[in-house]
Amino acid sequence: MGKLWSMINKQIFLPPAIVLVIAVIYGLIDPVGFGKGADIALKWTLRNFSWFYALGATILLAFTLWAGFSKYGNIKLGGRDAVPEMSKFNWFAISLCTTIAAGLMFWGAAEPIYLMNETAPYFQLEPNSPQSAVFAMSQMFLHWGITPYAIYALAATLFAYVYYNMKKPFSLGSCLSPLMGDRSTRGRFADFIDALCIFVLCAGMIGSLSTGAFSIAGGVSNVTGIPNNSVMMILIMTAIIITFTISASSGLMRGIKWLSSFNVYIFAFLIVSVFILGRPTFILN
C-alpha cells in the first residue's frame, strides 16, 4: 500500500478525491438537501447554457466530418509505420461499448417514453399518440446518434495524436499542448487540468453507474419479484464495480476487448429481435 501511495501524484489525486468524498458524505447525511442542490445546479446550467451545448455539439460534428474527409483524415495514429493491434470489428466494439456505457442502456428506453408522455408544448402534440412517438424517437436519434460520437471522436483522436504521434505525456493536459506548449504538460496549471478532468470523469462514471444500477435493479425486480431496495442496489453496484475492475485491470487486449465484442453480439440480437417481432414498416418509417 505504501508503494502504491508513493506512485500517486498527490497534487492531482487529492483535490478531486477530497471534493468527491465531501459530496458523498453530504449526500449520505442530507440526501434531500443534496438532491435539491443538484437539481438547482442542473436547471441553472440548462437554462443558461443549453444554447452552448447545442451550438458546441453542432460545431464539433461539422469539424469532425471535415477533418475525417480532409487530408488530415489520412494521418495514421502511432506514426507512418504503425500497425493495428486489433481487427476493425474489435475496435468498433470497444468504441461503441465504452462510449454508450450504461447511458444508452438506461436512456435509450427511458428517454423516448418520457418524451412521448411529456412532449414539448410548442409542437402541440397529443401525449402518447403516434405523432408523439415519432417526435420522441427523432429526439433520441439526435441525442444518441452521430452528434455525441463526434464529441467522443474528436477528444479521443486529439489525445491519441498528441500521445502517440507527438510523444507528449500520458495526460489529458497534453491535449492543450498544441495551443499552450509545455505549460499544459508540466507545472501547477497542468496539475489543475488533470485534477479537473479526473473530477469530471469520476462524476460522469458515478452518474453512469447509478443509472445502470437503477435499470438493472428494476429489471431484476420485475422479472423475479425480489424487492427493489437498497440491499439490491448495493449488490448490483458491487457486481458492476468488480466486473469493471477485472476488465480494466486485464487490459485492452483481453477483458475490455472480450466484453465489448460480447455486448455487440447482444445488441445485434436485440435489434434484430425488436425489428422482427415489432412493426417493421413503422420502425423503418
As a whole number, mean pLDDT of residues 227-235 equals 85
58 has a pLDDT exceeding 70: yes
**pLDDT score for 1:** 58
Rounded mean pLDDT of the chain?
A: 84
Which position has the higher pLDDT, 45 or 187? 45
Q: pLDDT per residue over 152-188, tens digit each?
A: 888 888 888 988 988 888 888 888 888 777 777 777 8
Residue with cell string 437554462: 47
Dihedral (CA of 80, 81, 84, 88) sign? positive
As a whole number, mean pLDDT of residues 188-203 equals 86
**pLDDT score for 2:** 65
CB 255 within 8 A of CB 246: yes
Amino acid residing at 173: G
Q: pLDDT per residue over 77-99, tens digit each?
A: 888 888 888 888 988 888 888 77
**pLDDT score for 66:** 93
3-state helix, strand, coil in the chain (%, to 5): 85, 0, 15
**pLDDT score for 188:** 81
Which position has the higher pLDDT, 56 or 109? 56
| pLDDT band at 275; cut points 50, 70, 90 | very high
**pLDDT score for 70:** 92
Phi, psi of 226 (to 5 degrees): -70, 135
**pLDDT score for 98:** 77
As a whole number, mean pLDDT of residues 69-81 equals 88
Supply 100's cell numbers: 454508450
62 has a pLDDT exceeding 80: yes
**pLDDT score for 4:** 67
Share of the chain above pLDDT 70, in %: 96
247 has a pLDDT exceeding 90: no
Q: Could you tell me which of 72, 65, 69 has the C-alpha nearest to residue 153?
A: 65
At a CB cut-off of 8 Å and minimum separation 6, what does 15 contact?
195, 199
63 has a pLDDT exceeding 90: yes
pTM of the model as a whole: 0.75
